[in-house]
A and B are shown apart, each in its own frame.
Chain A
Amino acid sequence: MSRPIESTNAVLAARAAAEALAELRAGYATELPERVERLGHALAAWHRAPADATRLEHARVLAHKLRGTAGSYGFPEVGEAAGRVEEAVKKAGETSDDQQAAVWSEVLASLREAEELATEARARAGSPTSHDERVHR
């Protein structure tokens, strides 16, 4: 006779799990533009000193992390754009000086795409104003 109760508990547990994930995703989406912005800062720092391998590696690691994390949080298009940034940065480390400008254009185009997609994701998750209010409350 305990089956219906177990079944109800399972449904409730599944619903609670789905809600917990949805809440986590919404929080991540709200902060996604700032994450892409951090990547932009790292890329700009590397662009100012292209021979600095540490800056290049830092930018590549940030792009790589965003690639895996954004997709896992349910924003695959942002992850894919970050993946294109990572591939372009890797290419920059392997190409000659005269090709650097072309690679940088590629990096920027993918970064802009990631920025737009991240902003859209945040807009879908809730207004930035309400998040700011939560943060500063």
Chain B
Amino acid sequence: MTSIEKALVVDDDDDLLRLCKVSLQTFTDWRVSIAGSADAALHAAKSEVPDVILLDVMMPGGGGLSLLGELKGCPTTAGIPVVLLTAADATGIEACRARGAVGVISKPFDPAVLPEEIARIVREAGCR
């Protein structure tokens, strides 16, 4: 697929975290970490430095876009490709890209093709 070895999934919704984790772990050999809050995500991103972050836009507080800004503003995490998960329309998706995400996956998504989709986005962005 790609040279992704470690992925971090960030979402405050346990159901979605579980689905993404099972999807990524069963269809790839990636090591998958999960974070249920922005603080936990920042900590995990800085300590583990994953090869890709899958981040839900709809998070409490400032939301996923605010976390994206923090990740891009930190030298340790700025280079990590971030793929956003969103149920937003085309305008919202463009806004996500403008904030520095390498790509966007629309919800609902198919968990059977999620890893392939993430790998394709990262590959096309030339990150890995």
Contacts and interface: CB of A to CB of B under 8 A. Distances in A.
Interface of A: 13, 16-18, 20-21, 24, 28, 35, 61, 64-65, 67-73, 76, 79, 83
Given A21-B23, A73-B19, A68 B107 contact: yes
Contacts of A67: 87, 107-108
Interface of B: 13, 15-16, 18-19, 22-23, 26-27, 58, 85, 87, 107-112
A21 B107 contact: no
16 contacts: A18-B112, A20-B26, A21-B26, A21-B111, A24-B18, A24-B22, A64-B87, A65-B58, A68-B87, A69-B19, A69-B107, A69-B108, A71-B107, A71-B108, A72-B108, A73-B15
Among A13, A35, A65, the one with the most B-chain Cβ atoms within 10 Å of its Cβ is: A65
A76 B108 CA distance: 8
Secondary structure at the A interface, as helix, strand, loop or mixed, is: helix
Contact of B13 (A20, A21, A65, A71): A65
Contacts of A83: 87
Contacts, number: 56
Contacts of B58: 61, 64-65, 68
A28 B15 contact: yes
Contacts of A35: 15
B108 A68 contact: yes
Contact of B16 (A20, A21, A61, A69): A69
A83 B23 CA distance: 24
Contacts of A21: 22-23, 26, 111-112
A71 B13 CA distance: 14
B27 A69 contact: no
A53 B15 CA distance: 26
Contact of B22 (A20, A65, A76): A20
